[in-house]
A and B are shown apart, each in its own frame.
Chain A
């Protein structure tokens, strides 16, 4: 196993920068998820690390080596592809043996390793089959087996679960996580599904538009998103972002909604707002930090329920507030009707405030 360092990595296609000055360090044995919407540059970044795409500038270091100009075969990596990329003309056994044959291992050693990998992944009975005779989940396992059979320095995974059905995906998710814990493997895992990233990764790198937005542990990213993009991308349902006007009178800072209601901020939040470059401030709140009231309590603001979605455990209420959609979760025993007048109370300790111009999170000090 080895660590991976990306230094000021750039990949441009003509004038378009698919990867824009990305720097990050993946420590030895760490599971890092590259996450972002489609077209954000996460797969391109992975292909740069794999050596399948030449880099434009910057450095990639795997272990102690700068691998910028090395062929994929010389980088000591293994990769699992979204579509599995199993060799269709080869049996499962030969698929697993291929990376070992290419490294000219003796036949009996190949046989030993292939059978060991098949045993670990519980597919000894499938060894003689061709990929087309396997189910999606089995193909996925073979792809995983082909990666782990040769003990590479780094595992690269490109959305390996996105072609599986929902149930199998949850199952394979925990298997890959277990696989990481058992092998202490360094894994770089690309996904567009923030839930996969949050549940599996030690650290997540949130990307958008070729830029690395935030690189931290899932808990940190969840609790302290650096900007509005990260705030809205991580978490489900998405964090509600409400554009408001800030004003200060008599030493009190107040946010005003488009409907005219006013929300007085705590001193700490007032400190944050004072650092904004503009009077436009965006209030971010996750569904679980908003309380729903049926009548006007001090500190709550009026809104109108729009849709009500019971999920069993919890009921999600969507309401319009200052031109934005706000998600609130309430216990299932509280009945809310669409178009009902409701009042929302925001948790001052757990709310997020963003600069309306720069979209960056506002910090107290």
Chain B
């Protein structure tokens, strides 16, 4: 007995030490990941407040001698031709991404609900068929979609992009939302229907509020996908006044000298809406809304 009593705590401390070692390894790994993702962003910010000359110096200035917001002023100035372009691209991107998001939520919510709650012939087949598009690299569809868009006269319209982005975003949106609906107990709707609601009212009044986190996650996902997309926007649109931001920003390269501070300032401002969107809505991701609904 005494030997067990003596060895047991030692074994325990040894085990705890080992767990700590892993934990530290994990922390170090996370710090590296943080540097890996954060450093380019920081460098982007620092470069955006340099003068054009300072940005191309070597060795680089880690912190600009004369920080300036001139690049931002130029981009946001509607009098200036660069500013006009930037603001127009920004607006185009916002328009395309917002419409894509709204449409994908409008389609994905009832589709996911149907896949989750109703059984109908071909349900499984359809459910996996929506993923078919995501099994291929996006580029494969570039030429076919271009031909298709030309045939229906959508080339050089934002409609072509919205339609295309929907085909990217919808399948995953439906899958994501179906998971949410699967987790909402069907008894909640049944209770609502017995309490006097129609099936539709039960959906709107009980199920929809509970699936808000899922809808928001889906919306952010669609928005980011559309906001960042480059290759289709580059292919389908050729008129300057229609370009979206990722394509528009490219123009900073195409002048005789690359305006690095301007490019970085534009990139930074392009990332602002996504970050803000995420920060504002992130609590919905975390909140476990259905907690306490039913006893498991």
A103 touches B289 (CB 8 A): no
| Pairwise interchain contact B198-A71, C-beta atoms closer than 8 A | yes
B70 within 8 Å of A by Cβ?
Answer: no
Query: Nearest-CB distance from B216 to chain A (Å)?
Result: 15
Picked from A51, A85, A89, A132, the residue with its CB within 8 Å of the CB of B191 is A85
User: Closest approach, in angstroms, between the C-beta of B209 and any C-beta of chain A?
Assistant: 5
Q: Does B291 contact A (CB under 8 A)?
A: yes
The number of residue pairs between A and B whose CB atoms lie closer than 8 Å in the complex comes to 85
How distant is the Cα of A88 from the Cα of B196 in the complex, in angstroms?
A: 18
Min C-beta distance of B198 to chain A, whole Å: 7
- Docked-complex contact A132 and B291, CB < 8 angstroms: yes
Select from chain B the residue with minimum beta-carbon distance to A133. B292
* Interface 0/1 of A120-142, CB less than 8 Å to B: 00000000001111101001000
Q: Chain B interface: which of A56-64, A74-82, A299-307?
A: A74-82
Chain B contacts of A88 at CB under 8 A?
188, 210, 289-293
Establish whether residues A85 and B294, one from each chain, have CB atoms under 8 Å apart when the complex forms: yes
Nearest-Cβ distance from residue B293 to partner chain A, whole angstroms: 4
The reply to whether B193 and A73 form a contact with Cβ atoms under 8 Å apart is yes
B194 touches A72 (CB 8 A): yes
Q: Are B192 and A98 in contact (CB under 8 A)?
A: yes
Q: How far is the CA of A306 from the CA of B168 in the complex (A)?
A: 68
A78 and B194 alpha carbons, distance in the complex (Å): 6
Main secondary structure of the interface of B (DSSP, over half): loop
Tell me the B249-296 residues at the A interface (CB within 8 Å): 289-296
Who on chain B is nearest to A74 by CB? B196
Question: Which residues does chain B contribute within 8 Å of A163, judged by CB atoms?
Answer: 295
From B190, B195, B293, B296, residue with most partner A Cβ within 10 Å: B195
Minimal Cβ-Cβ distance residue in A for B212:
A89
Is B185 a contact partner of A83 (Cβ separation < 8 A)?
yes
Question: What 1/0 mask marks residues of chain B from 183 to 212 whose CB sits below 8 Å from any chain A CB?
Answer: 001011011111111100100001001100
Shortest CB distance A152–B (Å): 9
Residues of B within 8 A of A84 (CB): 294-295
- CB proximity of A48 to chain B, nearest CB, Å: 13
Q: In the complex, are the beta carbons of B196 and A85 less than 8 A apart? A: no
Tell me if A50 and B194 are in contact (CB < 8 A): yes
Q: Does A87 contact B (CB under 8 A)?
A: yes
Q: Which residues of B contact A146 (CB under 8 A)?
A: 191, 195
Tell whether, in the assembled complex, residue B196 and residue A83 are in contact, meaning their CB atoms are under 8 Å apart.
Answer: no
Please name all residues of chain A whose beta carbon is closer than 8 Å to the beta carbon of B192 when the two chains form the complex.
87, 98
A85 and B190 contact, CB distance less than 8 A: yes
Q: Is A99 an interface residue (CB 8 A)?
A: yes
The CA of A286 and the CA of B295, in the complex, are separated in Å by: 36
User: Is B206 touching A73 in the complex (CB atoms < 8 A)?
Assistant: no
Give the docked Cα–Cα distance between A81 and B195 (Å). Answer: 12
Interface flag for A86 (CB, 8 Å): yes
Chain A nearest CB from B101 CB (Å) reads: 24
* Beta-carbon contact of A87 and B293 below 8 Å: yes
Contact residues in A for B291 (Cβ distance below 8 Å) = 88, 132
A109 to B114, CA, bound (A): 37
Residues of A within 8 A of B (CB): 50-52, 71-73, 75, 77-79, 81-89, 98-99, 102-103, 130-134, 136, 139, 146, 163
Given A73-B195, A75-B194, 11 other A-B residues pairs in contact with their CB atoms under 8 A: A72-B194, A73-B197, A79-B190, A79-B191, A79-B194, A87-B293, A88-B291, A88-B293, A102-B197, A131-B293, A139-B292
Measured CB to CB, the residues of B under 8 A from A are 185, 187-188, 190-198, 201, 206, 209-210, 289-296
Interchain Cβ contacts under 8 Å between A and B, 15 examples = A52-B190, A52-B193, A81-B190, A83-B185, A85-B293, A86-B292, A87-B192, A87-B293, A88-B188, A102-B196, A102-B197, A103-B196, A130-B292, A136-B295, A146-B191
